[in-house]
Structure 1
């Protein structure tokens, strides 16, 4: 990275520079530069995050990914020290899991756990890490820009502001460990410093005279020092997030290979020996990372998950996503990302949000014409870096390439690459190093010029970038201001009689909402209980092996929880518990166990508690018992299952082109074709027993019978189980019923999709599913 960056320096500049500009662009000490970075980072943190949020209080920590991070720490801090260091058996009991798979920032967990006895109850560091991420982002930006030869205070402030307003950073709120983009900036800086001596020499060969501002000897690192720095960075990245490790290691690989490929002609080491040394270095570095990963607990579980090709980058992403540039047509204005002028073609391309910003656009508009002739030289001097950055950019697009809503290309990956792709399924994130490389290349190109117009352009670009990213900062401020959700305290009386929570089915075994698992995972962590499953990033649970255990009578001090809407496979243990008065329903779940009945009896006092009946007799709680159930909002459940049918009305169906109109989903623009609905998703693992499911699709169309207005299909992963036409119904509501078999199917996501053909009209009222009981 350095060779390219350094060689972008300008030829000699005029000696008639304006004195105030020379003063502004005078070199400053590292202490001043990093102090300015620190102050800038703290100012942005103060602007964005309330103190209560940094202390760990707010709605964000109670829902979504952040709730997963917090609960992972709660399980870990209550567990003993053991190897692997990050493993806890309190989550996904009894096998346990590494909190690396709850994205609980293992580095912070290891730092705080020794002080657990002195920490407040329910303390967590996830809020505080936002400050760490933004401050280190500013410091790393100054490190990188100084590595590129920009040593003045003006450059330090500009680099810090651009890094702190980088759209891909601001958009990552909610996934705290991935906010630590400083890892990527430091890796680029290490690359620069590890090759700075060669690059400065090359730079002087390109310029007519030595530039006024050059890399100082203190910035030129030896190979041994650079290798040590990268090794430490890899270990830190490993304890933050695997994606950050992958990006840092890719840049490290580029450094090693470019050292071997571009060593000066008069080097005494033969080329084959240089390549052999490079490969040995890479192998040894991989070994260090693998051993460290095993020691802390990354091994032993699955690393793959579905989603590659969905969580990708849209080709349009770098060009829209701020205040001023809009890529969203009017027909898609209700999409979740439409407020940020960004089109999501797959429902997962938020992971590929990589807008560059208008400020950077202005810098590139000025810098590219000035240095276009030098760009081929940049590639020749850092071929490995260029190819690796190019590879990451291509990978970010995945095997389904979109320009806005249009799929340009789709292809299947070879089996040898599919596992890697499924491991790093959120491919859109891999554009981050590319975006930062473009940003700092452009900044260095203008910040190294000693002229008033260059300062003016950079100042205007900085203000433009700040204004353009305003909606992203406003989104953060709105999210962090939301008060906490008090959804745990009502369960406190029941939790006093429980040691273990068991959820059916285990996570990722069916369509139960992820929010349900998150809620009970938080519940168990908050109250210090163990839980037998978990909302983790790489689940690997034998669904049926867990299910048969729940056919037995409920165990003491164990709470059994399942969705109230369960229809297909309610375990016998739940049915028995309901008949014995051991179940209550609250919101969308049913909770059962002896502790429920004991709590009701305690609440009833001496009013004459009815003894438990037989398994075939439903026990009806008295009115006094119901009034003292002590779980606010809960009601007794005398029989299970509660229903034999699942219903998704139009209000619950995801859509790309639709809008609600009364009780139906209709196309927003009758001239635009596309998916009127997709989902609702249901996870189908291999462990499910053979099941026939009847799908009912309720719709109408004013078109005459026989005229095709759309299509429907039932899809499991990439396999179409059934499909058909949606024909006109003369305005009458019509139900299409289709039975599909899930027997002997590969794991995947089951969904029902309806597509409108932009011919006539289409009204979708809902979708239902039920066991097919036909003989």
Structure 2
């Protein structure tokens, strides 16, 4: 019952962080801001897209360039799954809240499974799973929904440390690792970039334990890489041009990250970090830090109780985690935000890789959970003959962890800014008469000037009417989009199948190009001058000339 209780505890913690309004799948308003809006529209436009290859291609978003669910961070795996049932789903439907609920529950579950390596007691497993579910790095990622899947890292740690006595058990572990890689590759590339090295380290651990041969270990490692690349291609990660972006060396982890709460703690003071180092947030929590101190102190006093610990079992995992942590520090290693050493020359030959994984600070997460898991296992191992001591301290640690974390910092507790739905009855006349809705000039996050409320309102309208849309959010975009940010209307450039929502300074150019323009719900809207349909006629009620 330990893992089940821990899973329920993880779900309860999400609710405490404000998840109650996100879980109901028919609620959209909470998700219509910032990165959440990008993931939501990535799914909504994919619902209207035809099936094709790559499997998650979405040609009607960022039209005419198109994009994919993968490049809008909209969870390719769940998008494909729910698209199969698209006719049965209501128009307002999102699965991101369900993904969060699953992530927090599985964090508790696999935290409990990890504790089961040293303790069969359900109470220990429940408390240990709760400690993992309360990890501050998980709560801090609520602004980026797909990356709230830290349970995969804890699950991989469990595979490394659990007993694997023979080839049959080794095969099961490798299949588990392959499944985790497959889910990660179908979800987000940063998860794969962490899981793949840990999976390869697992093959080394099994080969060192002589339960598989080195040849099989090499074959399994190659298999993980091939599996990940095939799924990347299938789900459309390579569909958006260059995968690189600026920021490597800035989106990093500081050397103080494990004990620096950066305003997330009620108990510990915050230390300074550089402006963009929030991506490297790795504070493990006051409870976990307390447990670590007690475990290390106890190990020094009760060393004999640890003589039979199979330390070699965790060595490949530890090496992989430390290497990932070194990458998390990036080319600019800092202490409290101040440069300690510049490794730019070392990383320069690998600039294509580092630009693709520019937010290197995220790679500190495996070390965070290794520290938490190591403290848990070390403590319980010391007191396995006096289980009540382990229970009492774990209960105290979980209480400290829960009190320490500032729930008001949760993105889910932020008051929503409000989502505007365009509701004028005239909009309904677009359906069946027009094919495209376009902002002019286009507005693409991080590329062009971006009015988020306008983009969200127009994007939702385009989705409900089954139209293409030329604006929005994607993590990677073709370079040609940037050339359209300051577009101007040319004579004869008004497309008859497109409805344009135009910034006011451009209205005159549309009128001179022969367009019919008017005001609808406070927006300047233009269509081709030759259009005589009901929507075009509606624009004459408040004409713009």
Task: Identify whether the pair has TM-score above 0.5, normalized to the shorter chain.
Answer: yes
> What residue is the counterpart of 1:317 in the other structure?
257
> What residue is the counterpart of 2:59 in the other structure?
89
Report if the CA contact (8 A) 2:46-2:69 is conserved: yes
> What residue is the counterpart of 1:475 in the other structure?
410
Report if the CA contact (8 A) 1:379-1:386 is conserved: no
Q: Deviations along 1:722-747, whole A, 9 cap, x unmatched?
A: xxxxxxxxxxxxxxxxxxxxxxxxxx
After TM superposition, give the deviation of residue 90 of structure 1 in Å: 1.3
Determine which of 61, 67, 87 is the counterpart of 1:117: 87
Secondary structure of 1:172's aligned partner: helix
Q: What's the TM-score, normalizing by structure 1?
A: 0.61
* Residues 544 and 324 of structure 1, relative CA distance in 2, 3 Å threshold: closer
**2:127 matched to 1:180?**
no
Counterparts in 2 of 1:139-154, with a 5 A limit? 139-146=109-116, 148-154=117-123
Report if the CA contact (8 A) 1:506-1:541 is conserved: no
How far apart in 2 are the matches of 1:38 and 1:544?
45
> What residue is the counterpart of 1:464 in the other structure?
400
How far apart in 2 are the matches of 1:228 and 1:97?
32
Q: Deviations along 1:651-670, whole A, 9 cap, x unmatched?
A: xxxxxxxxxxxxxxxxxxxx
Report if the CA contact (8 A) 1:396-1:429 is conserved: yes
Determine which of 42, 46, 50 is the counterpart of 1:72: 42
Determine which of 341, 350, 368 is the counterpart of 2:278: 350
* Residues 154 and 588 of structure 1, relative CA distance in 2, 3 Å threshold: farther
* Residues 493 and 141 of structure 1, relative CA distance in 2, 3 Å threshold: farther
> What residue is the counterpart of 1:535 in the other structure?
473
After TM superposition, give the deviation of residue 496 of structure 1 in Å: 3.7
* Residues 508 and 487 of structure 1, relative CA distance in 2, 3 Å threshold: closer
> What residue is the counterpart of 1:294 in the other structure?
233
After TM superposition, give the deviation of residue 460 of structure 1 in Å: 1.5
How far apart in 2 are the matches of 1:584 and 1:316?
57
* Residues 584 and 188 of structure 1, relative CA distance in 2, 3 Å threshold: farther
Secondary structure of 1:92's aligned partner: coil
> What residue is the counterpart of 2:222 in the other structure?
283
* Residues 124 and 59 of structure 1, relative CA distance in 2, 3 Å threshold: closer
* Residues 548 and 53 of structure 1, relative CA distance in 2, 3 Å threshold: closer
> What residue is the counterpart of 2:172 in the other structure?
225
After TM superposition, give the deviation of residue 96 of structure 1 in Å: 2.5
After TM superposition, give the deviation of residue 313 of structure 1 in Å: 1.5
**2:458 matched to 1:525?**
no
Secondary structure of 2:22's aligned partner: helix
After TM superposition, give the deviation of residue 491 of structure 1 in Å: 6.1
Larger mean Cα displacement after TM superposition, 64-73 or 105-114: 105-114
Secondary structure of 1:173's aligned partner: helix
Determine which of 510, 515, 529 is the counterpart of 1:576: 510
After TM superposition, give the deviation of residue 38 of structure 1 in Å: 3.4
Structure that is richer in strand per residue: 1
> What residue is the counterpart of 2:328 in the other structure?
396
> What residue is the counterpart of 2:291 in the other structure?
363
How far apart in 2 are the matches of 1:415 and 1:492?
56
* Residues 253 and 590 of structure 1, relative CA distance in 2, 3 Å threshold: farther
> What residue is the counterpart of 1:16 in the other structure?
none
Q: Deviations along 1:631-670, whole A, 9 cap, x unmatched?
A: xxxxx4x4xxxxxxxxxxxxxxxxxxxxxxxxxxxxxxxx
* Residues 575 and 155 of structure 1, relative CA distance in 2, 3 Å threshold: same
Report if the CA contact (8 A) 1:514-1:535 is conserved: no
Secondary structure of 2:84's aligned partner: helix
How far apart in 1 are the matches of 2:273 and 2:417?
29
> What residue is the counterpart of 2:32 in the other structure?
62
Determine which of 126, 130, 136 is the counterpart of 2:96: 126
After TM superposition, give the deviation of residue 536 of structure 1 in Å: 0.5
> What residue is the counterpart of 2:247 in the other structure?
307
How far apart in 2 are the matches of 1:600 and 1:526?
16
How far apart in 2 are the matches of 1:587 and 1:367?
63
**2:367 matched to 1:434?**
yes
* Residues 255 and 562 of structure 1, relative CA distance in 2, 3 Å threshold: farther
* Residues 431 and 584 of structure 1, relative CA distance in 2, 3 Å threshold: farther
Secondary structure of 2:339's aligned partner: strand
Determine which of 447, 456, 479 is the counterpart of 2:380: 447
**2:106 matched to 1:136?**
yes
After TM superposition, give the deviation of residue 499 of structure 1 in Å: 2.5
Unmatched segments (≥5 aa) in structure 1: 1-31, 199-219, 329-342, 610-624, 630-635, 639-775
* Residues 544 and 370 of structure 1, relative CA distance in 2, 3 Å threshold: closer
After TM superposition, give the deviation of residue 411 of structure 1 in Å: 3.5
> What residue is the counterpart of 1:670 in the other structure?
none
How far apart in 1 are the matches of 2:49 and 2:428?
19
Counterparts in 2 of 1:706-721, with a 5 A limit? none
Structure label with greater radius of gyration: 1
Q: Deviations along 1:528-566, whole A, 9 cap, x unmatched?
A: 2212344101111314775779534211231335655x8
Secondary structure of 1:559's aligned partner: strand
| Matched residue count | 523
Report if the CA contact (8 A) 1:79-1:88 is conserved: yes
How far apart in 1 are the matches of 2:477 and 2:21?
33
Q: Deviations along 1:471-507, whole A, 9 cap, x unmatched?
A: 136635522xx45724122466346424312343463
Unmatched segments (≥5 aa) in structure 2: none
Secondary structure of 1:535's aligned partner: coil
How far apart in 2 are the matches of 1:297 and 1:169?
27
Counterparts in 2 of 1:722-741, with a 5 A limit? none
Q: What's the TM-score, normalizing by structure 2?
A: 0.85
Q: Deviations along 1:696-728, whole A, 9 cap, x unmatched?
A: xxxxxxxxxxxxxxxxxxxxxxxxxxxxxxxxx
Secondary structure of 2:349's aligned partner: helix
After TM superposition, give the deviation of residue 468 of structure 1 in Å: 0.3
Q: Deviations along 1:322-373, whole A, 9 cap, x unmatched?
A: 1111225xxxxxxxxxxxxxx4412x22211111111111111111133367
> What residue is the counterpart of 1:408 in the other structure?
340
Query: Per chain length, whose mean CA-contact separation is higher, i.e. which structure has more relative contact order (CA < 8 Å, sep 6+)?
Result: 2
Larger mean Cα displacement after TM superposition, 80-89 or 424-433: 80-89
Secondary structure of 1:139's aligned partner: helix
How far apart in 2 are the matches of 1:358 and 1:314?
18
How far apart in 1 are the matches of 2:478 and 2:310?
45
After TM superposition, give the deviation of residue 436 of structure 1 in Å: 0.6
Report if the CA contact (8 A) 1:446-1:458 is conserved: no
Report if the CA contact (8 A) 1:60-1:67 is conserved: no
Structure that is richer in helix per residue: 2
* Residues 578 and 139 of structure 1, relative CA distance in 2, 3 Å threshold: farther
How far apart in 2 are the matches of 1:222 and 1:317?
36
Determine which of 181, 191, 201 is the counterpart of 2:160: 191
